[in-house]
Amino acid sequence: MGESAYTYLFVPESAFGPTNNCVGIAHRLAARGHRIVFAAERSWEGRLTPLGFEEQLVDLSPPAPEPQSAGQFWKDYIATIAPQFLRPTVEQLSTVIRPIWEELIDGVRYVEPRLRELLDDVRPDVIVEDNVVGFPALVTAGVPFVRIVSCNPLEVPGPGVPPAFSGLAADDAASFPAFRDAYRRTHLDLWREFDTWYRSQGAPGLPELSFIAPGDLNLYVYPKELDYRDARPLPDTWHRLDSSVRETDAPVELPDGFATGARPVVYFSLGSLGGADVGLMSRVIDALADEPYDVIVSTGPRHDEITLADNMWGGEFLPQTRLLPTADAVITHGGNNTVTEAMHFGKPMVVLPLFWDQYDNAQRVHERGVGRRLDTYRATADDIREAVRRVLDDDALRRRLARTSRRIREADGVGRAADLLEAVSRRRE
C-alpha cells in the first residue's frame, strides 16, 4: 500500500453471494490499512461490524413490521416463485426474470434519497458496487465508480456468446437470436422506463436493455477455464478475477469419524435461496442416503424441516470456504460464488440450476468438462447418483482440476482486486 489510507464504500446486493464476494475483497483492503464501509440492506445489521467494517444501513422498501434475517426477502420470494423454475428458460423471462428486475428497480427508486445522504456522510474515495442494477447516486457522486460482476459474465452481452439467463450451449448459436428477441420483447418497456428515471436523477443513460452501466473500473469473478473472453473480448477497463474467496469464514470441527478420508466426501448446497425448496433438498438427500459417501449438507433457511441420513452432517449456515477443501465433489445450484469457489479448490461439480444465471453456469461447467448439468426437477434419484459417481470416479478430471486449482490460487483474485482498487484511488489522488 502507498502512504495514503482510503475510504472504500461497498454496495453489494442483499444476497449472500455478492455480499460474501465484497467481504473477501474488503477484508484484504482493511488489512492494508484502509477504511471499509458497507452500505448494507438492513437485514444485514450486525453481521459486518464483527469483521472490522463500518455498517451504514439502508432500506430497499418500507421497513417490515418484524426484523428480518439477512436476505430474508429473497428467501420468501423464491419459495413463492419456485414452481416457475419448472418452465423452460425462455418462458421464465416473463414469469421469473422480469419480476426480479421489477423488484430490484423498486428498491433502487426507494433507496435513492438515503444513498445520497449516506454518501455525504461517508465521503468515500471509491465506490464499489456488486449488483445487477445501477443506482444513480453511486455514479453521480464525483468519485470513481467500480462495478463488480459476481454473476456469470454473460451479464456483459456480446454477439459471439449465449444470451444471459438462457442456459444455451456455446455451440448452439442458431438458438441465440430467438432468446434475445424474447428478452427484448419482455423487457424493453421496463428498461425504457427505468432509463428515463435514471437520467432524471442526473446520471448518464444506460446501455440498451442493461439495467447497470460499466464503471471506471470493472471486475468480474470467473475462472479462465470457464470464461467466454475468447468469443467476447472486453475493453481494457475490464479485469477478470479467477476467484474471490473470502478469508473470514470461521474454522469448523467435523464430527468424529466423519470425512476422515476413508471414503469420498460430497458437499451439497443449493444456496440460501435454493435451500428454501424443501422438496428438492429432500430428494437429493434421499438419493444419497445409502451411498458410500460422507455428505456435508448446507440445510439452509428451512433447516428444521429437513432430515439428514446417517451418512450426513450439516447445518443451516456452513463456512463453505472451510469445508470445500475437504470435499471430493460438490452438488450445487450453480450460483457463481459456489462455482468459482469449487474451481478455486479443484472440485468437480454436479449442477442443479434453479434460476437467473445458474443455468448459464451449469451449462458452462458441463461443456467445459468440469462437472455435469442435470435437469433439476426431472432428474431421478438414479440420475443424481450416477452423476456423482461419474465425477468421483474420473481420475483424469481430478488431476486436471488440481492443476486448475493451483493456477487459480496463485493468481490471488482477492489480492488482484485490492491492487486494482488501490490503483484507482491513487489515480484520483
Q: Kindly report the CA angle at 318 between 317 and 323, in degrees rounded to 5?
A: 170
At residue 72, the pLDDT reads 60
Q: Give the pLDDT confidence of 246-276 residue by residue, as tens digits.
A: 776 677 888 888 888 889 999 999 887 777 7
Give residue 230's pLDDT band: very low, low, confident or very high (50, 70, 90): confident
Q: How much is the pTM?
A: 0.91
Mean pLDDT of the residues in the chain: 90
**Sheet (strand 126-130) strand order:** 54-58, 35-41, 7-12, 126-130, 145-149, 217-221, 238-241
At residue 372, the pLDDT reads 96
Q: Is the pLDDT confidence value at 118 over 50?
A: yes
Q: Which three cell numbers stand for residue 26?
A: 474488503
Q: Which three cell numbers stand for residue 323?
A: 469445508
**Would you say 95 and 80 are in contact if contact means Cβ atoms under 8 Å apart?**
no
At residue 163, the pLDDT reads 97
- Structural domains present in the chain: 7-244+412-428 (3.40.50.2000), 265-410 (3.40.50.2000)
Q: How many CB atoms lie within 10 A of CB 89?
A: 20
| Span 170-190, average pLDDT | 97
* Least reliable range by pLDDT among 187-196, 245-254, 409-418: 245-254
Residue 59's nearest CA partner among 115, 19, 139 is 115
Q: Which three cell numbers stand for residue 178?
A: 430467438
3-state secondary structure of 313: strand
At residue 19, the pLDDT reads 87
Q: Is the pLDDT confidence value at 3 over 70?
A: no
Q: Which three cell numbers stand for residue 100?
A: 426480479
Q: Is the pLDDT confidence value at 2 over 50?
A: no
3-state secondary structure of 26: helix
> Distance (Å, rounded) from C-alpha 145 to C-alpha 260?
47
Q: Give the pLDDT confidence of 274-309 residue by residue, as tens digits.
A: 777 888 889 999 999 999 999 999 887 777 778 898
Q: Is the pLDDT confidence value at 426 over 80?
A: yes
Counting Cα atoms < 13 Å in the Cβ hemisphere of 360 gives: 22
At residue 425, the pLDDT reads 92
Sign of the four-CA dihedral 349, 352, 354, 357: positive
Q: How many CB atoms lie within 10 A of CB 110?
A: 14
| Span 310-337, average pLDDT | 90
DSSP code per residue over 336-362: HHHHHHHHHTT--EEE---STTHHHHH
**Sheet (strand 312-315) strand order:** 312-315, 294-298, 265-269, 329-332, 349-351, 371-373
Residue 354's nearest CA partner among 397, 307, 300 is 300
Residue 281's nearest CA partner among 216, 332, 211, 228 is 332
> Distance (Å, rounded) from C-alpha 148 to C-alpha 212?
11
| Span 346-350, average pLDDT | 97
> Distance (Å, rounded) from C-alpha 398 to C-alpha 345?
11
Q: Is the pLDDT confidence value at 396 over 50?
A: yes
Between 84 and 198, the higher pLDDT residue:
198
> Distance (Å, rounded) from C-alpha 363 to C-alpha 373?
6
Q: Give the pLDDT confidence of 31-88 residue by residue, as tens digits.
A: 999 999 999 888 888 888 998 899 998 888 887 666 666 556 656 666 677 788 888 9
Q: Is the pLDDT confidence value at 1 over 50?
A: no
At residue 427, the pLDDT reads 83
Give, as one character, the DSSP assignment of residue 296: E
